[in-house]
Amino acid sequence: MTTVDLNADCGESFGPWNMGDDPAILSIVTSANVACGFHAGDPDTMLETFATAKERGVSVGAHPGYEDLTGFGRRIIPMKPEAIETMVAYQIGAAVAMSAMAGHPISHVKAHGALSNHAMVDPDAANAVAAAVRAVDPNLTLLAIATTELERAGREAGLKVASEIFADRAYEANGLLMSRAKPGSVLSDGDDAASRIVAMVKEGAIIAHDGTRIPTAIHSICVHGDNPHAIAIASTVRTALEGAGVTLAPFASNGH
């Protein structure tokens, strides 16, 4: 029987400004990546998100990004690897503290936005993210986009690595995510996303926009919480996977 995790980025509201519908998405997914205050989120939002995830039985992790509230962490900020490592470790520490207050400790770390995109292809950035996770807690799982430098860096650092694919993003033939600047890079139709994800899980491969298959392990599937169609996509994807005989469970419970 195939078992996969369904994750979403949560806790991305800030003060009175709301992003996404966390209570709804946390009723669908099995893992949540909680913003740590740099690209989005704040202490109160983090605490509330961890508490809601605990109520729903959803596994939680830190979701560190560049310090870029205005750009929502989707702009690469030039930094030395040592600075990236410190920045990520700092945010993991915030997540550790707030999740402890909620009585629901984090089990993983997933880089956000431009930081993740940079670490996908840049070995130094990837190594810095992995080093930060290992320094704070080597028992944390690194949730990394499949077939990327970050996945490699996590394994070389001796971390448990969970390989992630995306339900609502299109892929290039090289296995990397299509730039958001390109038409069709973000999927909004739940049925299309669901059929594509079921095919990927069954084949054990990323399916690019041109039909290219890139074999990979698949431990977790992401639905972006800030996508306006997030709830519908997540619900449709979950229903389709379960209908195909796939079990949904946190990857942390499966040794990843």
Angstrom distance (rounded) from CA 175 to CA 243: 27
Nearest one of 144, 211, 209 to 179, comparing CA atoms: 209
Write out pLDDT tens, residues 66-87.
Answer: 999 999 999 999 999 999 999 9
H-type helices in 103-246, by residue range?
A: 113-121, 123-136, 149-156, 190-203, 230-243
Look-up: residue for tokens 């770390």?
109
Is residue 255 pLDDT above 70, yes or no? no
**Higher pLDDT residue, 64 or 189?**
64
Q: Residue 168 carries which DSSP code?
A: S
Is residue 149 pLDDT above 80, yes or no? yes
**Among the listed ranges 31-40, 74-83, 227-236, which one has the minimum average pLDDT value?**
227-236
- How far is the first Cα of the chain from the last one, in angstroms, to the nearest whole number? 17
* Mean pLDDT in residue range 243-249: 95
Look at residue 190 in the predicted model and tell me its pLDDT: 82
Q: How high is the mean pLDDT of the chain?
A: 93
**Among the listed ranges 12-16, 107-111, 115-119, 177-181, which one has the minimum average pLDDT value?**
177-181
Identity at 193, one-letter amino acid code: A
Nearest one of 93, 101, 157, 107 to 127, comparing CA atoms: 157
* Mean pLDDT in residue range 88-101: 98
Question: Model's pTM, two decimal places?
Answer: 0.94
Look at residue 87 in the predicted model and tell me its pLDDT: 98
Q: What is the CATH number of the domain that holds 137?
A: 3.20.20.370
Angstrom distance (rounded) from CA 108 to CA 63: 9
Write out pLDDT tens, residues 158-168.
Answer: 999 999 999 98
- If one counts the domains in the chain, the total is 1
Look at residue 156 in the predicted model and tell me its pLDDT: 98
Is residue 170 pLDDT above 60, yes or no? yes
Nearest one of 112, 91, 108, 98 to 37, comparing CA atoms: 91
Q: Which domain holds residue 207?
A: 3-254
Look at residue 186 in the predicted model and tell me its pLDDT: 83
pLDDT band at 256; cut points 50, 70, 90: low
| DSSP code per residue over 230-243 | HHHHHHHHHHHHHH
Look at residue 254 in the predicted model and tell me its pLDDT: 59
With contact defined as beta carbons under 8 Å apart, do 45 and 19 qualify? no
Angstrom distance (rounded) from CA 166 to CA 147: 13
